[in-house]
Amino acid sequence: MYGGRERERERERESELNFTLRSIFRLERLAQLGLIYIYPTGEDYKTRYLMMANYFDIDDILAEDELVPAIFREATNGVGLFDSTDDMNKVEPGSKVELPFWLARELHLRQAVTVNVPPCFNKRTREEIDADAAHVDLRNRCPYFYELGYKIAPLVGDKTIGLVLLIAFRTRYKEVLIKAHIAFEVAPKFLSLLTEEEVKLYKAAQSSATAFKKWRIGGPRFQKASVLGRKRKAIQ
């Protein structure tokens, strides 16, 4: 019996491995056809596969459309539209421009540009977060503050961004849940301070609180099993 279980587990592991390999080969084939792009940065296949999970995520698309500062490392033709002061349709080395994150990342991987830390993570923002994170207008700085910070940190090599995100979210998370669970109506000003991620969190918490209240006043919460309602026959 024990040997049978081991063989069954081995077959399950083999089946899972085959599924993973088939998925990898499909991704590689799509990349060869030019339908998708796999980042050549040395990640393992699991990481590459997970990268595609957000391919059609609208929030992920909008987050990567945020502008980030970059400096061209070499002269580039055909991209003068990035520099409004240039009439020759080219960018000279050292030109400072703002690019959508998705484009800045691609050019960074090709060593064409150097990506700098966006203004939404500057010293002033960090000081305000340290002082009173719950009341900082992060939405005005970047609607996708956390998502962009998570993505930009590896490119700029700034490990302190992760700490900023942690401090901000840890404090604001509590405030969002308190408002969603206790306050009957939240002032529009409070919602205007929240990032898109925090707005989703607030709505989810509010929906959860509403469902719980409805459950509490919704009548009996347990039903007697039918078998418990039967009477035993008297023994003759």
Q: pLDDT of the chain along its 236 residues, tens only?
A: 556 676 676 666 555 544 544 555 555 555 555 545 555 544 444 444 445 556 667 888 888 889 999 998 877 766 655 555 555 667 778 888 899 998 888 888 888 889 999 999 999 999 999 999 999 999 999 999 999 999 999 999 998 999 999 999 999 998 888 888 876 666 778 888 999 999 998 888 888 888 888 888 875 555 555 655 555 555 55
With b meaning 16 or more CB within 10 Å and e meaning fewer, what string describes 1-14?
eeeeeeeeeeeeee
What residues have CB less than 8 Å from 180, skipping those under 6 apart? 186, 202, 203, 205, 206, 209
Host H or E run for residue 15: helix 2-32
The C-alpha atoms of residue 183 and residue 175 are separated, in whole angstroms, by 11
Residue 101, class by beta-carbon neighbours within 10 Å (0-12 exposed, 13-18 middle, 19+ buried)? buried
